[in-house]
Structure 1
Amino acid sequence: MYWEGARDCNCLLYGILGEASNVANAIAPLVGVGVLDMTPGIILGGSVMAIGAFLIDPRTIETIGNELTVLSLEGTLIVEITAATIITLLSWAGIPASLAITAITCVIGLGWGRASRHVEISQRLQLTNQAQSDGGDGSKYEHPSNLFSEEMTRHVVTTWFISPLVASVLSFVCFKVAVVAGFISL
């Protein structure tokens, strides 16, 4: 009962604080050049992100929730509180940051930490049945090789490095095409 209430409150906090940063990042260029006023921009950005959550997010949820690491409810709360706190502090400081990257990095850190935790010899040999101190339940899925997917983590981190480069090149090409086509004058 307690954990479910904590989960629900945490999801609300995470959604409000995290998505506030995401909407700001999405509409800032349009508000900055005067195409949109701030309030309509926030409404538009929030609405479009809600639509995207239903259309695109299920695959992302699968990757974060199941493919990077095995998360317990307690681990999920740790990840969400940590990510929401980081994003909130950065937003208050006026520093744009990605909730997605912050949250996924927290998931990776938790999975990596759990997979590399110290295990007593008696526990390794299963001579004693000690309680899990990391929020896990001791199930067969908690073998270190099952707690952290190096391959998926490598794939995600590589994509983080490639995406800004591709975005920069595409933006440059689009700008040059717009200038040549006469849509933008220098």
Structure 2
Amino acid sequence: MILAFLVAFFFAMNIGASGAAASMGVAYGSGAIKRRWVALVICAVAIVGGSVFGGQKVVKTISSGLIPEQVFTVQVAMLALLAATLSLFIANVLGIPLSTSEITIGAVAGVGIAYHVLYIKQLLFIIMFWLITPVVAFTLTFVIGKLIHRVKSKYPDLENGKWRPLFIFLVILTGFFEAYSAGMKNVANAIAPLVGAHLLTIDTALLLGGLFVALGAILLGRRVLETNGKKITKVSLLEGISISATSSTLVISAALFGIPLPIAQITTSSIVGIGSAQEGWKVFQKGIVTQMLKVWFVAPFISMLLAYSFIKMLQSDGYAIFMVAAGVLATLGVISLLKDTKQKKHVGGISQ
């Protein structure tokens, strides 16, 4: 039980590190907030508020909406959290803003598959929103970005004139609400398994989880804040307002119905939408964008595979563990072969 709490709170801190960029990266990247620590403190305060006052429905979805609640024993909760934590920790080390909802749902799905009790319709319903909302966010901010470009071409000094203080305030305010939406949704990812295992009540879990997510944002959020704030594209104040407003509106609306949307993907898709309005499709040629897309696709499967493997180890199912190991080795072999093929083509091209 102690280990389950330790894993959950470590996971919560990593959620804070990842969610910091998703919520306050725009305010920091646009120059509305000059210092990183200020952006991270604002993020932390908003996350606690969103968790305590709005996180209940998402907790119920994760703790009992995908698999039967009775499956969440203390051991199962710990293993699901461990699988999600390892996936998120790898992404944070790489500085990639990863959706904690995806890896948590992936881990819970891995548990459900191991016990043959996964609610597939509910899972597909959530995945549908995962696929649709980043596209919606990209489209909205792309259109808004084009409109902003037209307005700024007519009024080039608009953001530096008398309206600048108002624009700065609005960027910070929308960033605050984006962090609030992260609290409503992301904290549940860390503490829902504990609630499912009846180790904590929902209200207590949301308070403790919110505090640890906030602590993680302050202590571990710098690298991811830099990635979302400055490494994808440069945003102005008006563009920052549109990004944060779009992301927070989508995520808060979904959280009110208990749907855990991937806030990191939505925010980053919004930033890429603005970047596409500025630079055209060149933004997709940047290494950081392609790297994020690959991590987003792979991460849920990694957490699902880890959770499934851990459960099978708990069940002492040697055949299933052997098949998982064989699958991992086969995947690594295919990756190695693809790399060798690319190197041979590159060498052949040079020799010619």
Question: By the TM > 0.5 criterion, same fold?
Answer: yes
- In the TM superposition, 1:42-121 aligns within 5 A as 42-116=206-280
Shift of 1:3: 1.2
Question: How far apart, in 1, do the equivalents of 2:190 and 2:215 lie?
Answer: 14
Residue in 1 aligned with 2:312? 176
Contact 1:67 1:149 in 2 (8 A): no
Structure 2 unaligned regions, length at least 5: 1-164, 318-352
Contact 1:13 1:84 in 2 (8 A): yes
Shift of 1:84: 0.3
TM-score computed with the length of structure 2 as normaliser: 0.41
Secondary structure at the aligned position of 1:180 is classed as coil
Residue in 2 aligned with 1:162? 298
Structure 1 unaligned regions, length at least 5: 117-143, 182-186
Considering Cα pairs closer than 8 Å and 6+ residues apart, tell me whether 1 or 2 has the greater RCO.
Answer: 2
Question: How far apart, in 2, do the equivalents of 1:29 and 1:177 lie?
Answer: 19
Secondary structure at the aligned position of 1:71 is classed as coil
Contact 2:284 2:290 in 1 (8 A): no
Shift of 1:29: 2.2
Shift of 1:148: 6.2
Contact 1:68 1:108 in 2 (8 A): yes
Question: How far apart, in 1, do the equivalents of 2:244 and 2:290 lie?
Answer: 22
Residue in 2 aligned with 1:127? none
Contact 1:111 1:148 in 2 (8 A): no
Q: Call closer, same or farther: CA 1:54–1:149 in 2, change over 3 Å.
A: farther
- Which 4+ stretches in 1 moved above 6 angstroms? none
Contact 1:7 1:77 in 2 (8 A): yes
Residue in 1 aligned with 2:195? 31
Q: Say which structure is richer in helix.
A: 2
Farther off after superposition, 78-87 or 54-63: 54-63
Give the letter aligned to residue 230 of structure 2: N
Residue in 2 aligned with 1:123? none
User: Number of residues paired by the alignment?
Assistant: 153
Farther off after superposition, 82-91 or 99-108: 99-108
Shift of 1:149: 5.3
TM-score computed with the length of structure 1 as normaliser: 0.75
Question: How far apart, in 2, do the equivalents of 1:5 and 1:149 lie?
Answer: 33
Aligned pair 1:153/2:317, yes or no? no
